[in-house]
């Protein structure tokens, strides 16, 4: 039971990271109708900046601010230099251009930081463990990641739903031409939304840096999971992104732990060793397929979310 609770918390922590990624991508896709395959690059850049900044300042807060700010700045620059010229093109142009940007950023970090990965340390005051229930000991840093994700999600909801800025963003997503006619600067709005989406990915990269290998291409695997989250939750739906992130995070984590155990107890070891990795990798895609059979627009499509 303790092992299950630990893995459940691990799944929720992964879900929080996926939400930070999917929320940013959902904003860009839902508001600007732009498919951004370079979104994982902002995650990667922020992780590199966080690790490097912490190395020289030994300040967790300063490294976090630097990571998020760098992701925001790169996102705005990408919008101004490249993306805004593609908003009126079809999605194929979006995919090809942003895939090229992904390759560019992967090579750029190799040039700047070298081909080898770098180490991002957990701050000493967050490096311990805490007993959150009898017999259930969990790393403090992972609990902090959970807390940051929850606070960020509530803050994002408050900004989008309760503020004038959020009203403008929603108006731009509903009808860009009408919003422009009402005096909204669509170019400024697009840069702000793209930068905000990149900053959310940067926050995810900053929080993930001490837990994963900080290396070129590290944003690609989580981008794939993020796209799965968006499809399951409903394209353009922030509420759908919340629900789908938690579902994917928990299912993927529990599947990677318990599927090999179940197969290993029923099949010969050689067969189990060959079959388990394939099934655990396929699990979330099988779930996505099953959900889309019954809910083709996702669990909470944008029109209802």
Contact partners, residue 194, CB within 8 Å, separation at least 6: 28, 32, 34, 36, 75, 76, 78, 79, 83
- Helices 186-208 & 39-57, crossing angle to 10 degrees? 60
The candidate with the shortest Cα–Cα distance to 200, out of 84, 40, 36, is 40
Residues 6 or more apart from 22 whose CB is under 8 A from it?
A: 226, 229, 230, 233, 241, 244, 245
Q: What pLDDT does residue 304 have?
A: 44
Listed as ranges, residues in the chain with pLDDT below 70 are: 1, 172-176, 303-305
At 134 the pLDDT is: 81
Domain positions in the chain: 16-294
Model pLDDT for residues 133-168, shown as the tens digit of each residue: 788 889 999 999 999 988 998 888 888 878 887 777
The answer to whether 195 and 165 are in contact (CB under 8 A) is: no
Strands (E), 75-163: 129-133, 136-139
Structure confidence at residue 28 (pLDDT): 83
Asked whether 206 and 198 are in contact (CB, 8 A), the reply is: no
pLDDT at 174: 64
Q: For the whole prediction, is pTM greater than 0.75?
A: yes
- pLDDT score at 173: 63
Confidence at residue 201, expressed as pLDDT on a 0 to 100 scale: 94
pLDDT for position 305: 42
Rounded Cα distance, 266 and 288, in Å: 26
């Amino acid at each position: 039971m303790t092992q299950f609770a630990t893995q459940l918390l691990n799944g929720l922590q992964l879900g929080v990271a996926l939400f930070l990624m999917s929320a940013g991508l959902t904003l860009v896709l839902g508001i600007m109708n732009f498919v951004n395959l370079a979104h994982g690059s902002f995650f990667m850049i922020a992780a590199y900046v966080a690790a490097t900044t912490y190395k020289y300042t030994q300040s967790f807060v300063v490294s976090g601010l630097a990571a998020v700010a760098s992701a925001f700045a790169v996102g705005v620059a990408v919008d101004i230099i490249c993306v805004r010229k593609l908003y009126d093109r079809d999605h194929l142009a979006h995919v090809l251009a942003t895939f090229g940007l992904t390759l560019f950023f992967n090579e750029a970090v190799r040039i700047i930081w070298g081909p080898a990965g770098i180490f991002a340390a957990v701050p000493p005051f967050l490096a311990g463990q805490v007993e959150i229930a009898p017999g259930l000991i969990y790393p403090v840093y992972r609990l902090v990641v959970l807390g940051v994700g929850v606070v960020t999600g509530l803050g994002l909801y408050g900004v989008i739903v309760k503020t004038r800025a959020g009203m403008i963003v929603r108006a731009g997503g509903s009808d860009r031409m009408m919003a422009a006619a009402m005096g909204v600067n669509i170019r400024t709005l697009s840069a702000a939304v793209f930068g905000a989406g990149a900053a959310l990915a940067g926050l995810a990269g900053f929080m993930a840096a001490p837990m994963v290998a900080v290396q070129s291409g590290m944003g690609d695997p989580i981008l794939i999971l993020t796209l799965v989250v968006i499809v399951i939750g409903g394209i353009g739906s922030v509420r759908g992104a919340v629900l789908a992130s938690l579902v994917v995070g928990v299912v993927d984590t529990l599947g990677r732990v318990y599927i090999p155990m179940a197969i290993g107890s029923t099949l010969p070891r050689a067969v189990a060793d060959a079959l388990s990795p394939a099934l655990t990798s396929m699990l979330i895609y099988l779930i996505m397929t099953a959900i889309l059979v019954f809910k083709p627009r996702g669990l909470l499509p944008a029109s209802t979310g």
